[in-house]
Chains A and B, each alone.
Chain A
Amino acid sequence: MSVNLTLLTVMGALYACGIYLILERSLTRVLLGLMLLANATNLLILATGGYAGLAPVFSKDTAPAEYNDPLPQALILTSIVISFAVTAFMLGIIYRTWVLARQDEIQDDVEDLRVAETPSYDAEDDAEIPVETSEFPLTMLGSDGRAVSNRPPGDETGSREPHPNDTVQAGSAVLTVEDAAAEEKPGSTNVDPGPEGGGK
């Protein structure tokens, strides 16, 4: 008895074709590649069973070494069933891709492309902070109170011209907007520089 060379050659050819096919972009070819790989593997399992022998049905007259090894065949049956299920499912998916996109190719991941195109500069994380965040914003001095905002310049959503009758709560007093802004301007009695340089 000798190793079945035909079987091994076929197995090698199936593997080669299968690997070539799964590297294609067309889904049908990928599927064919997977089927070839599965079948090549079945042949490999068959080869591990050793040399061909008698069917493993017990009879008293047969020496143990003459039987064929039944286990690899059981394994092959299982793996055929599994690859059958997977092939059927793949066909379903491929058909669905065709219905949805009218093409039989693997599509690129949209989110991957988006992340790849994102510039390393992120406006929210990396931008210079446009407004003074200290407790005593400098922009307040000399302004009419309009620029006092957390928004970056240019973002005007929600902001509007101050109406003269708008009021601001300042401690216990209620002031109109213009009075409140005037109090923060240089020259106002409210802003005489204290010993440490800041306004009152």
Chain B
Amino acid sequence: MNIASLAPLAVVLPILGAALTFVLIRHSRAQRVVSITLLSLTLLLECVLLASVWNGGTAAVNIGGWLPPWGIVMVVDQFSSLMLVVSSSVSLAVLVYATGQGMADGDQDAPLSVFHPTYLILVAGVSNAFLSGDLFNLYVGFEILLTASYVLMTLGGTGPRIRAGVTYVVVSVVSSVLFLIAIAMIYGATGTINMADLAIKLAELDPGTRTLLHVMLLVAFGIKAAVFPLSFWLPDSYPTAPAPVTAVFAGLLTKVGVYAIVRTETLLFPGDTLNTPLMIAALLTMVVGILGALAQSDIKRLLSFTLVSHIGYMVFGLAMSSVAGLGAAVFYVAHHITIQTSLFLVTGLIERRGGSSSMDRVAGLAKLSPVLGLLFFVPAMNLAGIPPFSGFLGKLGLMQAGVQLGTPLAYALIIGGVLTSLLTLLAVARVWNRAFWRKPSDAEHPDPVLLAAPGDADTGTRHGRKNVILLPRTMVGSTMALVLLGVGLTVFAGPIFKVADQSAEDMLDRTSYIQAVLGDNAPVPAIALPDSEAPGPEAPGSGARESLEPVLSGGSK
């Protein structure tokens, strides 16, 4: 039996866990055990999957034995399995953090009984989206994770969360409707929704129709990934959710959007038709996002803006559609999931220790809790791209690819990237100066616990409860694990970069993916790479079509 045929378990295990935890809704201890065990199992499985494709290759699983292009297919390749491993490690750490918070607070702020099943469904949705080899199944994966995220976002139903939740839900539903419309159009034009099959059939369409479908998919995914003109919902909605929820949203949800954009750009619509607009969008995402971050005084909001801003780097990488650029983008996605999540987790700790997540109100934490300082400092420098860290390596990869490309726009993006990096440093340095280095007495309305002598206040009043442990070991431990994972990405950057480059090569080549799904004899249409002069797939579509004569393509010609 092929190891890759275990891939559906990455979706099934979390859903099973969700069912079990829902049954155990009154037994919070059993819930914790079940959800952590099942998520660890999922992570283990995904590590095995990653190991099986570590040296390249793609494996496809036909669900229920239905052959593609008719049945649903799940595809494991280097990119998807790398994303799975990173996302599951991050979600496991966040789960441990959340249970720690729940144990310390007595479940007041986040009703944990609903949290566990919903969270596991979210993880299942993310896995499904990463593994899906079928456009509609990708949509279903998105919907699973979005519906779970609506619940998590409005957990507890307090005023601010409901207010933020409404924006989030409406924007997400609109983007999903757009995605569904795009799927319908694509089905109308080609008669298939299997991604490998689409890779072949879309190339036969006439360029106008193809560009229309391409743009529709990009807009739908762009909203989910928070690419610049479509990113305004994110900083409004993320910061109000509970800290672990914000952390996992920041790490995973936008990256699923980025993943979908990468697949669209490489598998479905290869070539460079929309590279220029994408690059401009990337530049604006980086610069506008980080300028927004500088205006914020709330740390969570600041981080949400840096999140938007750094999506720009990934879009930059994939818009170059070169192996170097795409490889660096893949590495950057893995890096950014880890770092952004750990920063949000640390912010949750800052909020507990200092009583607020506003920079104006928190001060003197470096003295009160040096560990917290370290936990913030390492990922913050990593995010800003200070040399030894993985953020620097990822950005360096992107810049090198940009120089290789050598167009004026690429140079503009390199300058924008460096500028964004510096401004990120400025933004996190402001947090550092205010929250960690300032004297507590300089803060506006400091929490009483800030003014207590260092080492003297392990407990405080939070959410109306007295004697809450401010920094429980589970929370600090899981945050530390995630920070260490970020450092691990730096230490093992060599092999990971190699895998990322290889996966980029495979994705741009497409042969491995298409043949894994459709069999070894499937034809792979030629691709127009930016450096090659080959005419590529622009050849006019042949009139002969399958017996299902599509309505839409007939109308649009």
Query: Which residues of A line the B interface, CB within 8 A?
Result: 3, 22, 27, 30, 34, 37-38, 41, 44-45, 47-48, 50, 64-65, 69, 71-72, 75, 78-79, 82, 85-86, 89-90, 93-94, 96-97, 100-101, 106-107, 109-112, 115, 118, 124, 157-158
| Chain B: interface residue total (CB-CB under 8 A) | 45
A residues less than 8 Å from B298 (CB atoms): 111
Which residues of chain A are near B301, meaning CB under 8 Å?
A: 111
- B184 — which chain A residues lie within 8 A by C-beta? 41, 44-45, 47-48, 72, 75
Interface contact B551-A50, CB-CB below 8 Å: yes
Q: How distant is the Cα of A15 from the Cα of B165 in the complex, in angstroms?
A: 24
Q: Contacts of B176 on A, CB cut-off 8 Å?
A: 82
B187 and A41 within 8 A (CB)? no
Instruction: For the complex, give the distance between the alpha carbons of A96 and B159 in Å.
Output: 9
Any A CB within 8 A of the CB of B521:
no
Residue of A nearest to B296 (CB): A115
Complex contact B177–A38 (CB within 8 A): yes
User: What is the bound-complex CA distance between A63 and B547, given in angstroms?
Assistant: 11
CB of A93 within 8 A of CB of B169, answer: yes
- Digitize B150-194: 1 where CB-to-A-CB distance is under 8 Å, 0 elsewhere: 110010010110111111011001101100110111011000010
- Within the assembled complex, what's the spacing in Å between the Cα atoms of A181 and B493? 60
Q: Contact between B239 and A111 (Cβ–Cβ < 8 Å)? A: yes
B236 at the interface (CB under 8 A from A): yes
- CB-based contact B166/A47 at 8 Å: no
Residues from chain B with Cβ under 8 Å of A47 in the complex:
184, 188, 551-552
Nearest Cβ on chain B to A183's Cβ, whole angstroms: 28
Are B181 and A41 closer than 8 Å at their CB atoms? yes
CA distance A90 to B298 in the complex (A): 28
Given A107-B163, A118-B295: A48 and B180 interface contact (C-beta under 8 Å): no
In whole Å, how far is B518's beta carbon from the nearest beta carbon of chain A?
17
Q: Contact check: which of A37, A65, A89 meets B547 at CB < 8 Å?
A: A65
Contact residue among A48, A64, A97 (Cβ-Cβ distance under 8 Å from B188):
A48
Residues A78 and B441 in contact, CB atoms below 8 Å apart: no
Whether A100 lies near B159 (C-beta < 8 A) is yes
- Residues on B with C-beta less than 8 A from A79 are 180
| A89→B151 contact, CB < 8 A | yes
The smallest C-beta distance from B347 to any residue of chain A, in angstroms, reads: 15
The CA-CA distance from A101 to B162 in the complex, in Å, is: 10
* Chain A proximity mask over B286-322: 1 for CB below 8 Å, otherwise 0: 0000000001111001000000000000000000000
Bound form: Cα–Cα A79–B193 in Å: 15
* Chain B positions 412 through 446: 1 when the CB is less than 8 Å from some CB of chain A, otherwise 0: 00000000000000000000001000000100000
The 4 closest A-B pairs by CB, nearest first: A48-B188, A45-B184, A44-B184, A82-B143
B434 surroundings in chain A (CB, below 8 A): 124
* B458 contacts the other chain (CB 8 A): no
Are the C-beta atoms of B166 and A37 separated by less than 8 Å?
A: no
B454 an interface residue at 8 Å Cβ cutoff? no
